[in-house]
Amino acid sequence: MRTSDAGHAGREIIAYLKAADSMAADQRMHLYGGGAVAELEEKLRRHYHKKYALCVSNATMGLLAVGLAAGLKGDDFITTPYTYGATVAGWLHLGNSPVFADIEADTLALDCESVKKAISKNTRAVLAVDIHGTPHDMKGLRKIADEYGLLYVSDSAQSFGGSRDGLPAGSVADVFVVSFTAGKPLFAGEGAAILTDDPALYEKLIWFTQHPLRQRRDIGLRLDNEFALNARLHPLAAVWANAVFEGSLERLKARQKRCFDIIKALNEIGLTENVDFASRGIVPTFFSLTAAWKSGKAQGDLLTRRLREYGFRMNVDHSPVRLLYRQPAFMGQYGSALGENTRRCRQAERQSRCRFCLIEEE
């Protein structure tokens, strides 16, 4: 966070504390989704051009809520093994079975052909991920979801501010989730939001995760649900997110420009597999800047030296992604729940061997 952003957020937070200290009404505002929560949801609706935005406590809960609202229970869903476990944690808790499909070599996101092959009569949904903040193939997955009648969900936790073909990352899915936790393009301590155009899904999300005050305000229920899981965003996180919203997008633009310059240098140096996001209309957030060794041959010292000649002081680090089905914690708890048609994913395996992260020296 820049100092000016931090100062602005600090003043806004103090203003909230003062108001909430003296007024019970101000304390209750976020229960019905008013105040800073309403303001943040409005900013998000505008940014994504979506009808509904719902702030939640974090993206893991947000994805769980989507599974609850969509009635996913004991169903198969297709997803990528090349992600962080929180992508699937909620749906696994609901007793659903993941079917892993393979990924593309450059975006590291779901490969549409592989998704098609993984579809069976038990498939209800496809859960895509913008891993490293690189938007997945939204047009391709939209087409498949429509053709096979699948719910199309995107874990866009890392991709706020990214786009593909001019569309915000995740926004072509039926519903998608963004995160505001550490390292994400918009950082507000903790927090997340769910976005959709689907009124029925939105009502169920409110019913299952929000306070009766908000249930009544948003869906006008005479019968309210005290048995909802509390997935509300902390009001201070909303105040914070509002204060840094525009600044974060601006700062992200600078990072995107710099990462595209680094990619240009990498392509010229030629030790890594060529990357061409620009001509395909892909604008990642570069949550992580990654590259893959050409023919799997790691040459970290040479690459660091060559990048210096281009004026970039970078360190080579391991990729943080561990394939889900290679993790003992996954196999121990959920290995027996693997869905029909799941398979080993050749490209994902290959990428987990030859991918690395590039981290800028301070």
Ligand X SMILES: *Cc1c(COP(=O)(O)O)cnc(C)c1O
Using CB under 6 A as the criterion, which residues of the chain lie in contact with ligand X when the complex forms?
58-60, 83-84, 86-87, 129, 155, 157-158, 179, 181, 192
CB 158 within 8 A of CB 132: yes
CB 55 within 8 A of CB 232: yes
Which contacts qualify for 246-255: CB closer than 8 Å, 24 or more apart? 247/1, 247/2, 247/4, 247/5, 247/8, 248/5, 248/161, 248/185, 248/186, 248/187, 249/161, 249/185, 249/186, 251/2, 252/161, 252/185, 252/285, 253/161, 255/285, 255/286
- In angstroms, give the least distance from the CB of 46 to ligand X: 22
Gap between the Cα atoms of 10 and 362, Å rounded: 25
Residue whose CB is less far from ligand X, 181 or 319:
181
Gap between the Cα atoms of 154 and 254, Å rounded: 25
Residue whose CB is less far from ligand X, 176 or 277:
176
- In angstroms, give the least distance from the CB of 192 to ligand X: 5
Instruction: Tell me the HSE value of 93 on the side-chain side, using a 13 A CA sphere.
Output: 14
- In angstroms, give the least distance from the CB of 191 to ligand X: 7
Residue whose CB is less far from ligand X, 241 or 307:
241
Which tokens go with 163?
A: 């786009």
- In angstroms, give the least distance from the CB of 210 to ligand X: 18
Gap between the Cα atoms of 81 and 13, Å rounded: 39
Residue whose CB is less far from ligand X, 84 or 100:
84
Cα dihedral angle (185, 130, 43, 33), rounded to 10 degrees? -100
- In angstroms, give the least distance from the CB of 165 to ligand X: 21
Beta bridge partners of residue 123, listed in sequence order: 76
- In angstroms, give the least distance from the CB of 85 to ligand X: 8
- In angstroms, give the least distance from the CB of 58 to ligand X: 3
Residue whose CB is less far from ligand X, 66 or 192:
192
Residue whose CB is less far from ligand X, 37 or 157:
157
Distances 348 to 76, 107, 154 between C-alpha atoms, Å:
20, 11, 19
Residue whose CB is less far from ligand X, 20 or 44:
44
